[in-house]
Amino acid sequence: NAGVTQTPKFQVLKTGQSMTLQCAQDMNHEYMSWYRQDPGMGLRLIHYSVGAGITDQGEVPNGYNVSRSTTEDFPLRLLSAAPSQTSVYFCASSFVAPSDTQYFGPGTRLTVL
């Protein structure tokens, strides 16, 4: 049971480049989400999903796309990277029951030059 995995762990991009952050979970969780963490800002929700084929925007969705074709995978795409997207990105998953714990991946540290 690997839990929530994220790849890559580190990434450096140039402004305008695109890339995909990968997230996978093996716990059959319906709910998956992406956060970014910046100093002094806590965790900010980017996008979330409650099942395959269902996604929705969070607090800071601009510049990011997601898709959910399977229960296990929830990739985050940066369409045209900007320096403001320099951050640490976390993927999380859980069952939709509100009593359930969120399980977080180890994070991806992204730098946009």
Partner 1 sequence: AQSVTQLDSQVPVFEEAPVELRCNYSSSVSVYLFWYVQYPNQGLQLLLKYLSGSTLVKGINGFEAEFNKSQTSFHLRKPSVHISDTAEYFCAVRSSGGSYIPTFGRGTSLIVHP
From candidates 19, 22, 31, 61, binder to partner 1 by CB under 8 A: 31
Handedness of CA 60, 53, 12, 106 (dihedral sign): positive
| Using rule CB under 8 A, residue 34 touches partner 1 | no
| Using rule CB under 8 A, residue 82 touches partner 1 | no
In whole angstroms, the minimum distance from the beta carbon of 51 to partner 1 comes to: 12
| Using rule CB under 8 A, residue 102 touches partner 1 | yes
Element (H, E) at 34: strand 31-38
Handedness of CA 44, 50, 69, 106 (dihedral sign): positive
From candidates 48, 66, 78, 110, binder to partner 1 by CB under 8 A: 48
Q: Determine the residue type at 10.
A: F
Other beta carbons less than 10 A from residue 35's beta carbon: 23
Structure tokens at 87: 């951050």
From candidates 4, 66, 110, 112, binder to partner 1 by CB under 8 A: 4
Q: Determine the residue type at 4.
A: V
| Using rule CB under 8 A, residue 96 touches partner 1 | yes
Which parts of this chain interact with partner 1 (CB under 8 A)?
Answer: 4, 31, 33, 40-43, 45, 48, 50, 58, 90, 92, 96-99, 101-102, 104-107
